[in-house]
Amino acid sequence: MDFSFTEEQRIFADSFRKFLAREVEPLVEEAEATQTFPRHLIKRFGEMGYL
């Protein structure tokens, strides 16, 4: 049995990683300090096809 990721899965993971670095990572410190979740990200996750 081959448990390797497909090319499509690798592309998806890379795309998601870049999205997180660009749009989520810069907000983490403030979100943790205020114990809030940046709700606008939910819409962005949907726009990017991650929901």
Q: What is the tens place of the pLDDT at every residue in 1-51?
A: 989 999 999 999 999 999 999 999 999 999 999 999 999 999 999 999 999
Rounded Cα–Cα distance for residues 5 and 42 (Å)? 26
Number of domains making up the chain: 1
Tell me the residue range of the domain where 40 lies: 7-47
The reported pLDDT for the residue numbered 43 is 96
Residue 26, in any domain of the structure: yes
- Is there a contact between 38 and 31 (Cβ–Cβ < 8 Å)? yes
Instruction: Output the pTM of the full model.
Output: 0.78
Residue 2, in any domain of the structure: no
Residue 1, in any domain of the structure: no
The reported pLDDT for the residue numbered 33 is 98
DSSP 35: T
